[in-house]
Amino acid sequence: MKKQILKLVSILGLVFTALTIHAENITYSLEKQSFNANWQFAIIDNDQAAKPSFNDAKWRTISLPHDWAIEGPFSKKYSARNGGLPVFGTAWYRKRFVVPKQAEGKRVTVTFDGVMANSEVYVNGQLAGKRPFGYIGFAYDITDLLVAVGSENVIAVKTAPENYASRWYPGSGIYRNTWIELDNQTHIAQWETQISTPNISTSSAKVIAKTQINSFANAGKYDVSFDILDADERLVTAVEQTITTQIGNKNSVEAKLTIDQPIRWDVDNPYRYKVITTLRKDGNVIDTDIQPLGVRSIEYKADDGFWLNGRRVQIQGVCLHHDNGPLGAVVNERAIERKLEIMQAMGVNSVRTAHNPPSPELVELADKMGILLQIEAFDTWKKPKHTVVNGYHKYYDEWSEQDLTDTVRIHRNNPSVIMWSIGNEIYEQKKNDGWKYAKRLTSIVKAADPTRLVTAGLSDYPAFVKSKIADEIDIVGLNYKATEYGDIIKRYKGKPILGTETSSVVSTRGEYHFPVKPLEKHPSKYVSSYDNYAPYWAYIPDVEWYNLDKNPAVMGEYIWTGFDYLGEPTPYGGRDHGNKFYWNQDWPARSSSFGAVDLAGFPKDRFFMYQSRWTKKPMVHVLPHWNWPNKVGESIPVVAYSNAEEVELFVNGVSQGKKVMGVDTVRIPVALRYKKNIKHFDSPYRLQWLVNYQPGDIKVVAYNQGKVVAEKQVFTAGMATQVKLTADRHAITADGKDLSFITVDVLDAKGNLVPNADNLIHFSIEGPGKIIAVGNGDSATTEPFVADYRRAFNGKALVVVQSKKGKVGQITVTGYSKQLNVLPVQIESKQ
């Protein structure tokens, strides 16, 4: 967690003043401060840009985080596997800053939460360090590279992401936040504070706090205190000790504290304490560090799954890539928060950070929102995956220990983190000595954090049995092995089992293809939302649920995926792990269809299917839409998802009969990789009626014990007449970062969504805000994300508005679309 100025000095009896200095409108202090403003940027391959004298006057001025690839353009010359965007090349970022005389004698550190990729950081022309892995945070002490205090310094960052380095869209550039920190010569080391709670009961929680004090000068006696504050920032308990530091040594400190009547961190009550570490010399505050503390117990039972605070909690999880759809890889706290809010509405309680370390913002939000995290480190070890010739395997020998250690150190104090994954579908599964790799990586994790278990996403069965990889990890993580759960449980008695990646069914929001049958490809380049098709390695959600019900020892599942993501447009363009570098034969298909939610954040029908499984509030959902002018009189399957006992379908007011969840089944053709003799699955998890289409409406009514608990109605829409703009938040913060996501609906005169509308809409904005992205969830279009126009896709589009820093007032967003009335929306930008 970022260090910050201690606010509660009166509570702790502390009085200190942080040294602040000013340069280029940024305030620096003895605490960590944003370093995001006023960078110069150019896509250029010229190592002279590292020199302070280099002329960058004509470069763009930008604020970080920044992803240059999302600006496009989409092009067939780039692989659709990576989103059809320019995710490789060389670019430079340069920034001028002054460290004034008041900071003389301090240590200066710059921190990057992530740079994509192969970064080189230069300060005044001298190399501060290199880091090839684009997903990891790193920090450099640049004190000895600075010119005299009061003079201008130049920091230059080279980024050189390579082609064929990823199986999805990775983004490009300094896409996460940057920080600068001034420290005294003796200070608390970054990422070295570790908090654990080895013993928890109703009456008390034992807390162990460890930290490291670095001394570059001024060694001697120092006081170190650990103060625990509750969520209302009241002092709960404290302890202090005196240490004697040695110059150049890493001075370790450990303290034990007790919290009486602790409040547990839980998915339903994400309560956090704070642990404040304070370093003093002769009564003066030298440094502070603040870390989160969630008091919670976690257990992993081989026979009864995952337990949180003494009760079984089924993992209802999703895999999420790091991109934020139309925003690209750029880290934005509100964009991530919105993504997690949508997932929680589906019933999600856990996220797997597939397949690399997440941003600090995602982990912090998971803490606050009560979402369990499986943090994954690598998609590749030493052995490369097909066509990913510039993947992490190139750096494994030199960097894997540090990258994995840093992943754990950065996030180990966050209570949301419940396990670490050391790899996903790594090819060492098929190597006889694969166990050696797993043993090494597991030991690295345990050295940094002995409090959590280690897993990996294993896919090659029974190959991983022979290579003994699963013997060396704590939790046997299984990708697409639902039909083999029973056998694997018998093989690994005593080990917890988890579905680390499941289902992988594909669908496109608002698309319905007839006849209703599994179909690998369709002329539209979209996939039907009847949710009946999965690639050869996968299966429909119903198969997973059936096998989880049969094998309750399994901890739960992480579906692939919660959201659509850029790249991997399966089943179009290529084959997972296949031998084609460019997945462009079905261009412009360039984004995945795996998500329960599309790229713009709009739920697909499958969202409601999972909601029916994962939530308790009564709900019912019906599909398809009811605009089929060419199918009058033809039979159309109508499907309902519900968590109620019974559902009744009405067509134009006439009942089509009730059906009982779990009793009335739907037969779905399947092709199971490990059970080839099974050709169909009779699903108890959905209901279906065959009705002859007539325009009008369909309505589903859900019942519990004969009483109506939920209903949903879909009307045949008329011609499009209007565009409705709806903001997810009508008030945003004027910090230059906050966002409002505006849903764009094309409606008929009665206010019904026109389900096949594709009207082009031009957007305009007035007031202290700007349009930073547009989208619509279309996985096969080359329309840009950075624009002020967008076609509706199946009736919907998205506009993302960002505040302007320091500018308050009303923001009005409206638009123009031929022959349609656009209804504007207002947003207030506030301090």
Q: What is the DSSP letter of 711?
A: E
Angle, nearest 10°, between helix axes 360-369 and 396-411? 30
CB 777 within 8 A of CB 744: no
HSE (side-chain half, CA atoms, 13 Å) at 52: 13
What's the rounded Cα separation, in Å, for the pair 319 and 331? 17
What's the rounded Cα separation, in Å, for the pair 679 and 791? 40
Phi and psi of 357, rounded to 5°? -60, 140
Peptide bond into 720 cis (omega under 30): no
Count the Cβ atoms, other than its own, within 10 Å of residue 446: 16
- Is 520 catalytic? The answer is no
- Burial environment of residue 463 by CB neighbours within 10 A (0 to 12, 13 to 18, 19 or more): middle
Q: How far is CA 9 from the centre of its chain?
A: 35
Residue listed under structure tokens 């928060």: 337
| Alpha carbon distance, N-terminus to C-terminus of the chain | 24
> What is the number of helices (H) and of strands (E) in the chain?
9, 50
Amino acid identity, position 80? A
- Burial environment of residue 53 by CB neighbours within 10 A (0 to 12, 13 to 18, 19 or more): exposed
CB 356 within 8 A of CB 94: no
Catalytic residue among 376, 501, 646, 783: 501
Q: What is the DSSP letter of 401?
A: H
- Mapped to the 3 state alphabet, what secondary structure does 545-562 carry? HHHHHHCCCCCEEEEECC
Catalytic residue among 361, 425, 557, 645: 425
Contact partners, residue 207, CB within 8 Å, separation at least 6: 195, 196, 197, 228, 256, 257, 258, 259, 275, 293
Q: What is the DSSP letter of 336?
A: H
Q: Where are the beta strands (DSSP E) in 326-406?
A: 350-352, 372-376
- Mapped to the 3 state alphabet, what secondary structure does 648-679 carry? EEEECCEEEEEEECCCCCEEEECCCCCCCCCC
Run of H or E including 635: strand 635-642
What's the rounded Cα separation, in Å, for the pair 362 and 371? 10
Rg (CA), the chain: 27
CB 797 within 8 A of CB 741: no
Strands 138-141 and 107-112 come out as: antiparallel
Burial of 150-182, coded b for 16+ CB within 10 Å and e otherwise, reads: eeebbbbbbbbbbebbbbbbbbbbbbbbbbbbb
For residue 250 the two structure tokens come to 């890493």
- Is 425 catalytic? The answer is yes
Vertex 521 angle, CA 519 and 522, to 5°: 95
Catalytic residues: 425, 501
